[in-house]
Amino acid sequence: MEMMADDYDTRDILRPLVFRLHENVPAIVREVLLERGWTEFDKKEQADADWNLYWRNSPFRMTDHHSIKPWQRLNHYPEAVRITRKDYLARHLKRMKGAYGSALYEFSPVAFIMPNDYVKFIAEYSKERQSVGRRPSYWICKPVDLSRGRGILIFQDIKDLVYDCTVIVQKYISNPLLISGYKLDLRLYVCVTSFCPLTIYAYEEGLVRFATEKFDLGSLDNIYAHLTNTSINKYGASYEKYKEGIGCGCKWTFSKFRSYLRIFGADDTLLWQKINNIVILTLLAVTPLPVASNCFELFGFDILIDDKFKPWLLEVNYNPALCLDCSIDDTVKRKLLHDIVELLNYKQIDTLRQNQVAGTKTDRRRVPWSTTGESGTWEAPGLLTCRQVAKCTSASSVQPSVHPLLQATRRSIRKVATLTKKTARAHPRKTLTSELRERMNMPKIPSQAKAEAKNKQLPGAGHSPHKSTQLSHWLPTPDFCNYELTTRPYFLSDKDQRPIPRVGDFVLIFPFNEAALQASRDGTDVKSIIKEINKLVRKQLPSKQQNTKKRVGYLTSV
Ligand code: ADP
């Protein structure tokens, strides 16, 4: 007999959700979860799988992904580091520019990875120097795997360029939007609830981070004038002081910034649309990521706006800072975390976790899987293989009508699973850490490996130039493909099995229309998605932009 939620003892159903934190997770994560009535996982007292959310500052081990249970979520996707390391990001964006044209992918400053691109950089540098009437560019040199402004150097003359590790040398945006003479950038929070099908939420609230001394190209070594990192500016002499037009400290909320822009007649909505396009185009550059269920990734996108009101992507942060340096941090980050938990879409049944179902550990049983009365078949301890997922969820007794999006998810899962089986035989098992270490130590895929990888394209990937290059570069490895996937992606609404359009201040920005949804269904059809984005961009270019350009001149001089 099928058991429904009502068959359980209500005392069980009212059990709290349980979080598990790895060391060094910012205190606010614990605070928010406790505020929500969650309890903390106790390794000594509780069974291994008796938790609902595991939060770490570093990637999970593959075994954590393999053993994920339907009631659990992990705060990292495997291989998210593909866009969060500066050199990886630069390489992916360059490839996309080559495949889809620089018109769409011109939001990232030209970058060279050193020492590999040294010759190319010199060529570009010399070309500029030789062109008559052109002012030579400024450049910024950043270590690829450092954060918080550490090791950064800004220069105009090549004789000032020094580095002793892998760095990227990027064109320095020397005409930033200034408010009262201070440089600023935006920390945009983006949550990806799935890379397959791609599902992206942008957070409407966020942080504007100011430099604490006035922008001045005459003093390139003044970090308080050129870098907007809070980790730097909080130690500046002007941090605590009241700065005209900015206030004390070095932060505003997006809300305040947007009101400010509106006062000066700048089109903040158009700016936000452009920023959302940047986010989508950037994340498209790293799809497909390995298939993994019940994960999410919170990214911090750093966006700089220039005096022509053009947003530029500076970098994408893994584990964006959740420390609280000021009351603005508290307001924004606390609500952000609450909204993330909402986005994770826990159901009452999730509080039961493994051992709570009928108080037994049977090998195979049916458990209710949503409060709306739908049910699924789960193989203990709670997972199905891709094939089983397809079989089980297509059975009418389990789910009478399956939304096409869900069907598509399953199809793409099956595709990857087929590939897995083939590749798994040929490769030894690797851990995520060894996998990443290997990749980090390997700046470029050797040409032979490239050729081999090309031959192993996923079925159906041949028709798109993007797909083939991407898959050959990042061919799923046996481990990544060996996932056992849960039947119901947590990020789909119960009502219509589509991504929920808004959760708190999180707004769904991808898929943004029906065509984009279709294109992200059966494996990501990047070509079709790019076509849709091109249409969108054309629509977003009203004559209004001209007005904005004129007025921003005024704004920057304020
Ligand atoms: P980190 O990971 O060390 O914070 P970022 O790439 O975010 O490195 O750079 C730190 C700061 O330097 C940014 O917040 C921004 O203020 C400034 N910056 C970085 N790249 C550029 C650039 N290309 N043009 C102008 N300013 C930049």
Per-residue pLDDT reduced to its tens digit, 265-305: 999 999 999 999 999 999 999 988 888 899 999 999 999 99
Q: Dihedral through CA 382, CA 294, CA 30, CA 60, nearest 10?
A: 90
Q: Global pTM? A: 0.78
Residue 472 Cβ < 6 Å to ligand 1: no
Q: Whose CA is nearest to atom 2 of ligand 1?
A: 147
484: CA distance to ligand 1 center in Å?
Answer: 39
Average pLDDT of span 30-51: 95
pLDDT at 26 over 90: yes
What tokens appear for 439 in the block?
A: 């990749």
Determine the Cα–Cα distance for residues 254 and 3; give it in Å rounded to an integer. Answer: 47
Residue 109 Cβ < 6 Å to ligand 1: yes
Atom number of ligand 1 nearest to Cα 109: 23
What tokens appear for 471 in the block?
A: 């898959």
Which has the minimum average pLDDT: 29-38, 62-71, 459-468? 459-468
Q: What angle do CA 470, 540, 283 make, to 5 degrees?
A: 25
Atom number of ligand 1 nearest to Cα 176: 25
Determine the Cα–Cα distance for residues 24 and 336; give it in Å rounded to an integer. Answer: 19
pLDDT at position 521: 81
Residue 149 Cβ < 6 Å to ligand 1: yes
Residue 302 Cβ < 6 Å to ligand 1: yes
Average pLDDT of span 24-45: 96
Q: Whose CA is nearest to atom 27 of ligand 1?
A: 172
pLDDT digits (tens, 9 = 90+) for 230-245: 999 999 999 999 999 9
Determine the Cα–Cα distance for residues 141 and 108; give it in Å rounded to an integer. Answer: 15
Residue to mutate (ligand 1; options 152, 186, 210; most atoms within 8 A of CB): 152
100: CA distance to ligand 1 center in Å?
Answer: 26
551: CA distance to ligand 1 center in Å?
Answer: 26
Average pLDDT of span 208-231: 97
From the list 259, 235, 257, 222, the residue with the least C-alpha distance to 325 is 235
pLDDT at 164 over 60: yes
What tokens appear for 53 in the block?
A: 């959310």
Place of tokens 């195979």: 364
Residue 170 Cβ < 6 Å to ligand 1: yes
Q: Whose CA is nearest to atom 10 of ligand 1?
A: 149
315: CA distance to ligand 1 center in Å?
Answer: 8
Residue 489 Cβ < 6 Å to ligand 1: no
Residue 147 Cβ < 6 Å to ligand 1: yes
Percent of the chain with pLDDT over 70: 70
pLDDT at 453 over 70: no
212: CA distance to ligand 1 center in Å?
Answer: 15
Which has the minimum average pLDDT: 41-50, 133-142, 515-524? 515-524
Which has the minimum average pLDDT: 18-27, 249-258, 409-418? 409-418
pLDDT at position 539: 87
pLDDT digits (tens, 9 = 90+) for 416-438: 444 334 433 333 344 343 343 34
302: CA distance to ligand 1 center in Å?
Answer: 8
277: CA distance to ligand 1 center in Å?
Answer: 20
Residue to mutate (ligand 1; options 302, 310, 317; most atoms within 8 A of CB): 302
149: CA distance to ligand 1 center in Å?
Answer: 7
pLDDT at 200 over 50: yes
Contacts of 131 (CB under 8 A, 6+ apart): none
pLDDT at position 338: 98
Atom number of ligand 1 nearest to Cα 226: 16
pLDDT at 475 over 60: no
281: CA distance to ligand 1 center in Å?
Answer: 20
> How long a stretch of residues is the chain?
558
Burial of 454 (0-12, 13-18, 19+ CB in 10 A): middle
Residue 185 Cβ < 6 Å to ligand 1: yes
pLDDT digits (tens, 9 = 90+) for 345-371: 999 999 999 644 444 333 333 333 333
pLDDT at position 145: 84
Residue 142 Cβ < 6 Å to ligand 1: yes
241: CA distance to ligand 1 center in Å?
Answer: 23
Determine the Cα–Cα distance for residues 105 and 102; give it in Å rounded to an integer. Answer: 5
From the list 168, 175, 159, the residue with the least C-alpha distance to 217 is 175
255: CA distance to ligand 1 center in Å?
Answer: 23
Average pLDDT of span 437-448: 38
Phi, psi of 203 (to 5 degrees): -90, 130
Q: Whose CA is nearest to atom 19 of ligand 1?
A: 314
Characterize the bridge pairing of strands 18-21 and 39-40: parallel
309: CA distance to ligand 1 center in Å?
Answer: 18
For the chain, the average pLDDT equals 78
From the list 372, 341, 419, the residue with the least C-alpha distance to 38 is 341
227: CA distance to ligand 1 center in Å?
Answer: 6
Q: Whose CA is nearest to atom 22 of ligand 1?
A: 172
Q: Whose CA is nearest to atom 11 of ligand 1?
A: 227
314: CA distance to ligand 1 center in Å?
Answer: 6
Atom number of ligand 1 nearest to Cα 170: 23
* Number of helical H runs and strand E runs in the chain: 21, 19
